[in-house]
A = this chain, B = another copy of it.
Amino acid sequence: MSLRLQLAKVFLRYVGKRFLMKETDPARMNARLSSLARTFRTPALARYARSSMGEAELPVLWATTGGQAQNGVILFLHGGGYIAGTPEIYKEMLASLAGSLGCEAAIPEYRMPPDHPFPTAFDDAVTCYLELLEKGYAPDRIILGGDSAGGGLMLALLSHICVRDLPRPVCAFALSPWTDLTLSGESFTKNQHTEDFLPASRIRDSRKMYLDGAAADDPRASPLFAEFPNCPPVLLHAGGQEILLDDTLRMQDHLLGFGTEVDCRVWPDTPHVWHLMQGRLPEADEALQDIVRFAQTHLT
């Protein structure tokens, strides 16, 4: 464990986690997350652009580095418990990742509660994927990605693509994904004290706000209960002390049951979605490089 990671963990636990324990308002959460995001490292030659997708004109933030982005697109669904988070917070990480692959990343601002509870976020994710196909992106040049709640949302989209037999993306990656809104994972209780960032209470709240009465085991909300026929390769990353660790490990088992090629990598000490600290933490850079390695294997 690097010294930087040790410092980051102390900061997350005593500042981030304590803040999240008290803060229940999504707008104030976003303000704090956005101010945290200002410490993220901007990769060299980062380029951003904005467009919109679908009838609802969802804002989409496009990110990459350098001049060439000929290798395809990463459709990335951001985290934030389905109630917070913005594409803006993720733009540096995605610019870095997409640039390394010679791709561009599209980060849609899917709609959220209170105005748009479940299943709007899911419907928006499907809309964005279909629009990429319509725009002429070859499916074997589309990579799906997501983190935390966005990782679960991405896997729900992936299941939908497989079940409806839509053109499949080339591969997918999920970072510390939240795959089970029934919260039945053993780590959800067992790791409450080792978890550096996410308070269990906040997860229960955001589940309630998002589902708004819908069933927690709906496969569009909890891809752990979804079907994945002929699923493309999936990469899963998690930290070994996260309360969501079992959401990754059980997802691995579940995908293997459908004959999916699964690469699951667990870092023993890293906090929830540490990838965001790219350029600052060696463990974050190592994890991003692992995504690049995985995607490159399948893009070629």
Contacts and interface: CB of A to CB of B under 8 A. Distances in A.
A286 interface: yes
Interface stretch (A14-22, A88-96, A101-109, A263-271): A263-271
A253 B268 CA distance: 12
A78 to B, nearest CB: 25
A256 interface: yes
Nearest to A249: B253
A70 interface: no
A259 B286 contact: no
Contacts of A240: 256, 259-261
Nearest to A245: B256
A29 interface: no
A252 interface: yes
Could you say how many copies of this chain the assembly holds? 2
Contacts of A261: 240, 266-268
A297 interface: yes
A262 interface: yes
A293 interface: yes
Query: For chain A, what secondary structure do more than half of its interface residues adopt (helix, strand, loop), or is it mixed?
Result: mixed
B262 A256 contact: no
Which bracket fits the contact residues of A? 20 to 34
A268 B262 CA distance: 8
Contacts of A262: 265-266
A259 B269 contact: yes
Given A249-B253, A286-B297, A293-B293, A265 B264 contact: yes
Contact of A268 (B249, B259, B267, B297): B259
Given A259-B269, A262-B266, A263-B264, 11 more contacts: A240-B256, A240-B260, A241-B259, A245-B256, A249-B252, A249-B256, A259-B268, A261-B266, A263-B263, A263-B265, A293-B293
> What are the 9 closest A-B residue pairs judged by CB atoms, nearest first?
A259-B268, A263-B265, A264-B264, A261-B268, A262-B266, A240-B256, A256-B266, A261-B267, A240-B259
22 contacts: A240-B256, A240-B259, A240-B260, A240-B261, A245-B256, A249-B252, A249-B253, A252-B264, A252-B266, A256-B266, A256-B268, A259-B269, A261-B266, A261-B267, A261-B268, A262-B265, A263-B264, A263-B265, A264-B264, A264-B266, A286-B297, A293-B293
